[in-house]
Chain A
Amino acid sequence: MEGREILSENLERVTPGTVLMRGLGRSYGDSSLPAHPEDKVVATRLANRIIAFDPSTGVLRGEAGVSLVELNRSFLPRGWFTPVTPGTKYVTLGGMVASDVHGKNHHVAGCFGAHVRALKMRLADDSIVECGPDAEPELFWATVGGMGLTGHVLEVEFKMDKVTSPWIWRESTRVRDLGEYLDALNAAAPRWPMTVGWIDCVCKGSGMGRGILDAGRWATREEAGDALPKGGLSIKFPVDLPGWAVNDFTVGLFNTAYYWKQFESRITGLATSNQFFYPLDGILEWNRGYGKRGFTQYQCVIPRRAGVHAVTEFMQLLTKLGGASPLSVIKDCGPEGKGLLSFPLEGTSVAVDMVVTPELQKIVDRLNEFVIEVGGRIYLTKDRFTRPEHFRAMEPRLPAFLAAREKYDPERKLRSAQSVRLFGDKA
């Protein structure tokens, strides 16, 4: 998509009359892209000032462009961490609200929105308002997970967590198949505040779902000692690989190597927050491995009430359709949050990378039909291919969200490539 960002340190000055705001532009889908090349889109990343931080309560107020990279760098050594982090630190506060991000601790902490106390917003009529769970709650909960379509988030106020050390105490368990994996995930949930895992969905037959389950908690002072974690090395992916480089054979090799990197069936020990939360951030521009075709992600949640067999069936379907993804990330989600379009619901979330090919639309359609059948839903932040009728069918909360949009942006001034595709906004 062509288009030019409006880049400024002063969001209040540049937001009037603009149709969309974006942070670092890392969403896998089209939610941060303009619907039309002429659309005015504001990029927030230069607006990165922390307005206030109260060390006695942990309450932090920051401009929308403050990124998790900065927050972690500055606050983790002093014993503070965001209550929720997604699987990348290249994300801004504004983006964390718009996507209502979830993390490895969703089963205990919920989404980021549950920890937000206030938002300062520029609305479609160019007025500026302050909202929160108690002030203008309809606007607030439509904005949390609302993909930037209810107004521009200028400032975010939330409460940081006090952590016992800057290190994670991690337990990695190698599991042989999907059934064992799901059992282990269930068993870990009450014992560990953070869980996530990677499984191989290319390997067919009895090895389907072989993988590694990571569980963790903040290490105690005694376990961690006094050393601060080093920044660690970031390697830049040097070139765009040719399009054929990612195929069933290379993916199979990668997965076998990934599976056997851990020879023991269980490892415990200290890990840095970067190693534990952001394994992929260690390789900058890793997306180039997928070549010029690019790639996207598919993420859905299968509700618990559909039963464990629904997850197995979904994985079998995924393997059969052949999305050729190195790894799938599987994670259990806690109860649904209050954000009107917030993604997680009680059940199992599955995320897979997908190379963009001519067949991809068909694959996504088929997966979505399954998700609708079992009462699940997809994650808008990752989505570029879902059809509007499929989205409507999986989203009973949509009328409430559309009512909020009608109230705060009756002319549908705010729009993105995604809102044109899914909600039929005018391009």
Chain B
Amino acid sequence: MKAVVLGGTSGMGRAIAQKLVERGDSVFLLGFPEADLEKSAADLKARHAKGETAKYAVLDLEKPEGFAAALDAADKALDDFDTMIVTAAMFATPEQMEDNIELLRRLVTVNYANTVVFCEHVKKRLLARGGGKLTVFSSVAGERGRKPVGVYGSSKAGLSIYLEALDHKHNAQGLDVLCVKPGFVKTGMTAGLKPPPFAGEPDQVARDVLAAMDAKKPVLYTPFMWALVMFIIRLLPRFVMRKINF
């Protein structure tokens, strides 16, 4: 596998990149800042089953003008990548966005509009070379309008629908789209929030994601308990959702 990981320097993206190199796959990192990419590249080289060097390029989801050049760099380093994994996104609590409407605008733009634009760039490249894998992290927060993750959830809901349509449209052409819906995972993104029951660890999520990619699944809930949790949440009537703070 020749995989590009956008967001591979931290959290679940880091865990996935580490697992990929441990099993011998080639990895290219996208993200920022450069110092962080450099450190992660050194980590991946040390862990690589064949001692391969991981290369990287700076990409900021807030700057769509840089997408093409970063993807060119990835293609050059990997001699045309066949797999794209996107874990990067923004997170903020409703309280933070209440006082900072600019933060809200940035979050919605990054998580929905710019991620979709990025996926369109990737889609074109993969389809031109006969298909490939596109794995994108959405969230269980996109399943229902919930008080603590309203805006964030709505950005992920849009992303999930986009990925679903992408799968419907291009699956026959060899594009394997995987929409990952993690539940609460203990990473830097959720640091400071109180972990609910069934909170997962990045390593566990990475294992699930690679298995789902290999099995060409279109949707993955991880850790698995969140599939059941969200099934119930989707069934709750509106008057209950108005009462609870989940």
Chain A residues within 8 Å of B, Cβ to Cβ:
4, 6-10, 46, 48-53, 55, 60, 70, 73-74, 77-78
Contact = CB atoms under 8 A, between A and B. Distances in A.
Contact of A9 (B46, B47, B188): B188
Contact of B47 (A6, A7, A50, A55): A50
B202 A49 contact: no
Contact of A50 (B10, B43, B51, B202): B43
B26 to A, nearest CB: 16
B39 A49 contact: yes
Contact of A53 (B46, B187, B191): B46
Contact of A51 (B22, B43, B187): B43
A4 B49 CA distance: 36
Contacts of A70: 18, 47
B42 interface: yes
A9 B191 CA distance: 10
Contacts of A50: 42-43, 46-47
Contacts of B188: 7-10, 46
B49 A51 contact: no
B11 interface: yes
Interface residues of B, number: 20
Given A50-B43, A73-B22, 8 more contacts: A7-B191, A9-B188, A10-B188, A48-B14, A50-B46, A50-B47, A60-B46, A78-B49
A46 B11 contact: yes
Contact of A46 (B22, B42, B45, B202): B202
Contacts of B43: 49-51
B125 interface: no
A63 B10 CA distance: 14
A71 to B, nearest CB: 9
B186 interface: yes
Contacts of A51: 39, 42-43
Q: Which of A49, A50, A51, A53 has the most CB of B within 10 A?
A: A49
Interface of B: 10-11, 14, 18, 22, 39-40, 42-43, 45-47, 49, 51, 186-188, 191, 194, 202
A32 B130 CA distance: 53
A9 B42 contact: no
Contact of B22 (A8, A55, A74): A74
25 contacts: A6-B191, A7-B186, A8-B188, A9-B10, A9-B14, A9-B188, A46-B10, A46-B11, A46-B187, A46-B188, A48-B14, A49-B39, A49-B43, A50-B42, A50-B46, A50-B47, A51-B42, A52-B46, A55-B51, A70-B47, A73-B22, A74-B18, A74-B22, A74-B46, A77-B49
Q: Which of A60, A74, A77 has the most CB of B within 10 A?
A: A74
B162 to A, nearest CB: 29
A300 B22 CA distance: 39
A16 B47 CA distance: 30
Q: Which of A10, A46, A52, A77 has the most CB of B within 10 A?
A: A46
A52 B51 contact: no
B42 A8 contact: no
B11 A9 contact: yes
B23 to A, nearest CB: 10
A49 B47 CA distance: 10
Contacts of A78: 49
Contacts of B187: 7, 46
Contacts of A9: 10-11, 14, 188
B40 to A, nearest CB: 7
A6 B188 CA distance: 9
A7 B192 CA distance: 8
A53 B49 CA distance: 13
A349 to B, nearest CB: 31
Given A8-B188, A9-B11, A49 B42 contact: yes
